[in-house]
Structure 1
């Protein structure tokens, strides 16, 4: 009779075990998806992903560590007591207790109040392949460990808890399993990438009448790309890479899917984090015109120093054909050095050393609604232009567009019409009037010292209302980051009436800079996220106030 009852209980126990296993699997897949997102944001680069893991508290949060600790203790106690009670009815009830404890521990590990991602996971074919590889690796690992454990015991009630404890281990170590999955699939991805890369490369080469404009720089690339595309569209059939598509696979996708035979110009943004990245992109698209917008300490963590950044950006110029045109922002001290050593045809633009410039602007009038200025060239041609873009720094980007347009034979009248049609680029000093009487300036995509300074200049031009800034500071500046943010704080203190800092640890240098200029502590608010920042704004904002959102940390950054 006892045996029959135990068997009945065992069948019920198996059902519970299968249910818990399914719940464990779903939690594993959910956690794996988060790390898939993070490795995607790191460009599927293992070294960058490892560095992110080392510096991110969410990888092994306090909750996750407690989950593993409690789960290990519960399993250890179960095995000891289970061996004592083996082959008794009590062993079955012990398993039930363990299952309940396991469920409670796993549910406790779930992170609550996670912010919506600013740049959501994109389930591209590559992301799907990596995710499936991760799932397969989890399954294989589980099967192998189960098999090894079964060599030591075949007793049902000692086996089941270990099975679900293994799920807990896999759940905890998903960051490493995702890394291992990326390593395993790398040869496959390399082969697939090369296929699409070669296909795109051949397509560009087959279009003999296509002119490719390559744009690179530490900052200003995306804005300049859209500006150039808008101006050139006055005369040509133009294709721009969308948003921030600036990697080999991003460009390959646009070329293979969107570039048509009737396109006359392809404007390609070129991003880089390492030496050789720009050369790889230039070999893909074969640019005839190369533009370097800026050089500064962006991505200094991967480049290590400014010299490496200069070397990488100059790869674009080195890859131009002998009849290509190199276009330089001559006001940038680093670019000036590169321009001076260039013997290909070149166009120099800027605002300062006008005697040396081919294209420049004078009589600049900047306001809170845009800018007007006179565009001139060294031949004496000139025209008065107006743009809705905010900030003096955007005039540099417009001048880059003028330089490209002139190299393509466009008249000043055509260029003027193009400049007037330029729309503000989202999240790049984009002014928003929500109809509440409060002006919002969205500069969320900016994270460099020059851009931050320019944003404050724009803010200072507003004559009415108080000025409020919301910022987490600047990132990826390496050893320069603390000093740059401290100087940012000093400049904020000279312009803003209220300061909302997002993230206490990261914004410490900004706070120190504010204190250097004896800023009123009562007007500084430190919050943990944008939701808290919005709540704080509601408490202090009044009609005619101007709120600047300066930079927004990507999802793979936290305190």
Structure 2
């Protein structure tokens, strides 16, 4: 009997250990924010919090402290609870997530103090540096690619510092400055993200941008912002915070950023617009794209500004990338490059990590890795790329999060697009799957949509794909299946 108890206790302890690692991973990807975690807990995945998907968190000082602190609390509970050891393990299992939540709460104050200290250090270093041209980039989608594009183009003429990956918060910007601003730079390209109003204002006050790029706004993070109107106001904080020359570069093909153009004019900011469409725009400069060509090797187009014209060729996938490159070219011209040299430098642009990166898969198939992020516009753009493939088309898709009142319609729209393009559709979890499937079946009632684990997904792909078939992995969770196949 004693051996059986020890065996059960050992198995249960292993379960607790895996659950703890999964909870810490979840807090990490939610950036230790209670508002984002609260939204997650209302999804189907969140309602099964006692049975989380097995995940290993990234190793950081904070994840290590949270792990060790939780182990300490759980150990104390195990010793102090006046219960049989197995019953103590059951209690700890039930309260494990609340324990991590409580520790995250208690870590908030020291974390905030530490962040404020690092931010003040970074601002001091920035003020002591020689004058740099600072370019801010914001939007609901396309901001990381645009930031990378403009840094690549400007690097052919200037020494450029950029925020790393998607470090687009005040502490992320501060870390970039403290780690990278060790030698003189000419230009600093700063990505700015936000979950509520006031956050971009804080970043603008830190870096004092002269040029601001608004890439486009959609329903992403509506659970946090509340309304699209609030999102627009939050993103406009970059334009409102411009100093010096005050040049706003705005996506004129997005109805919400077009509204920002009017506000910028009202505030006396110089407005530059970029567009893929033929439209008359009231702006100081308009960067227009024409003769757009896109295939699985890359894109090409002509860019026109007034009477100037240049040809652009870039090895990135998707017609939507034209907008990101137009924004980058406009930013480069604003920073001092000629249109011709900026357009030529665009050839050096490479796909950002995990954004529509194409590799060869098993049996001569094609894998399209687009697991960096997911939102309605990005999902539809990725499906347009998948549609270019010749063979069977498979989608591995993570349902989108934090869309608020746009959750249903956004998943239905992406589902419709997927039904038109894909032969097989696999969802990585059941969140909002009913809305996605409604969209699929409104186009093709017989189209099957499966909800599979990463192992099941990888097995299906291995058994199914043939030469020239294409598999699109969309969203962070889709990366787990992708890694099993590569």
* Equivalence map 1:515-530=2 (5 Å): 515-521=441-447, 524-530=448-454
Q: Does 1:417 align with 2:339?
A: no
1:128 corresponds to which of 64, 67, 71: 64
1:493 corresponds to which of 392, 407, 419: 419
What is aligned with 1:467? Answer: 393
How far is 1:404 from its partner? Answer: 0.7
How far is 1:466 from its partner? Answer: 2.8
How far is 1:303 from its partner? Answer: 0.9
Q: Does 1:349 align with 2:285?
A: no
State the distance in 2 between where 1:208 and 1:549 align. Answer: 43
- Distance change >3 Å, CA 202–CA 17, structure 1 → 2: farther
TM-score (norm 2): 0.88
Segments of structure 2 that go 5 or more residues without pairing to the other structure are 481-486
1:393 corresponds to which of 298, 311, 320: 320
Per-residue CA deviations over 1:215-247 (Å, capped at 9, x if unaligned) read: 111011111111111001010111222222112
Q: Does 1:363 align with 2:291?
A: yes
- Distance change >3 Å, CA 424–CA 218, structure 1 → 2: same
Q: Which secondary structure does the structure 1 equivalent of 2:188 belong to?
A: strand
2:356 corresponds to which of 411, 429, 439: 429
TM-score (norm 1): 0.77
- Distance change >3 Å, CA 326–CA 175, structure 1 → 2: same
Contact 2:252 2:258 in 1 (8 A): yes
- Distance change >3 Å, CA 496–CA 359, structure 1 → 2: same
- Distance change >3 Å, CA 203–CA 494, structure 1 → 2: same
State the distance in 2 between where 1:554 and 1:436 align. Answer: 20
CA RMSD for the aligned pairs? 2.9
Contact 1:235 1:414 in 2 (8 A): no
Q: Does 1:444 align with 2:371?
A: yes
Q: Which secondary structure does the structure 2 equivalent of 1:341 belong to?
A: helix
How far is 1:21 from its partner? Answer: 9.1
What is aligned with 1:41? Answer: 29
State the distance in 1 between where 2:33 and 2:99 align. Answer: 15
What is aligned with 2:204? Answer: 282
What is aligned with 1:97? Answer: none
How far is 1:446 from its partner? Answer: 4.2
Per-residue CA deviations over 1:319-367 (Å, capped at 9, x if unaligned) read: 1114332211111101111111212123211122544252121111222
Contact 1:279 1:316 in 2 (8 A): yes
- Distance change >3 Å, CA 433–CA 135, structure 1 → 2: closer
* Equivalence map 1:2-401=2 (5 Å): 30-55=18-43, 56-61=46-51, 115=54, 117=55, 121-138=57-74, 145=80, 161-162=83-84, 165-342=87-264, 343-356=268-281, 358-378=286-306, 380-401=307-328
How far is 1:261 from its partner? Answer: 2.7
State the distance in 2 between where 1:205 and 1:369 align. Answer: 43
State the distance in 1 between where 2:350 and 2:176 align. Answer: 22
Per-residue CA deviations over 1:374-410 (Å, capped at 9, x if unaligned) read: 11112x1111110111111100000110011001110
Per-residue CA deviations over 1:266-307 (Å, capped at 9, x if unaligned) read: 222111112222122222222222111011100111111101
- Distance change >3 Å, CA 469–CA 32, structure 1 → 2: closer
Q: Does 1:405 align with 2:332?
A: yes
- Distance change >3 Å, CA 435–CA 410, structure 1 → 2: farther
How far is 1:425 from its partner? Answer: 1.8
What is aligned with 1:82? Answer: none
How far is 1:53 from its partner? Answer: 3.7
- Distance change >3 Å, CA 370–CA 130, structure 1 → 2: same
Segments of structure 1 that go 5 or more residues without pairing to the other structure are 1-12, 62-110, 150-160
Contact 1:385 1:419 in 2 (8 A): yes
State the distance in 1 between where 2:400 and 2:112 align. Answer: 33
Q: How many residues align?
A: 471
Per-residue CA deviations over 1:463-516 (Å, capped at 9, x if unaligned) read: x32333222333321222222222222222222233334445643323222222
Per-residue CA deviations over 1:391-447 (Å, capped at 9, x if unaligned) read: 111000001100110011102332133210111123222222247421222222342
State the distance in 2 between where 1:315 and 1:430 align. Answer: 32
Contact 2:428 2:478 in 1 (8 A): no
Contact 1:133 1:185 in 2 (8 A): no
State the distance in 1 between where 2:431 and 2:105 align. Answer: 33
- Distance change >3 Å, CA 20–CA 495, structure 1 → 2: closer
Contact 2:137 2:190 in 1 (8 A): yes
Q: Does 1:534 align with 2:463?
A: no
- Distance change >3 Å, CA 424–CA 47, structure 1 → 2: closer
State the distance in 2 between where 1:515 and 1:321 align. Answer: 51
Q: Which runs of 4+ in 1 moved over 6 A?
A: 15-27
Contact 2:427 2:451 in 1 (8 A): yes
Look at both structures and tell me which one has the larger radius of gyration over its CA atoms: 1
- Distance change >3 Å, CA 325–CA 271, structure 1 → 2: same
Contact 2:398 2:478 in 1 (8 A): no
Contact 2:167 2:191 in 1 (8 A): yes
State the distance in 1 between where 2:470 and 2:405 align. Answer: 32
Per-residue CA deviations over 1:201-223 (Å, capped at 9, x if unaligned) read: 11112213222221111011111
State the distance in 2 between where 1:511 and 1:393 align. Answer: 25
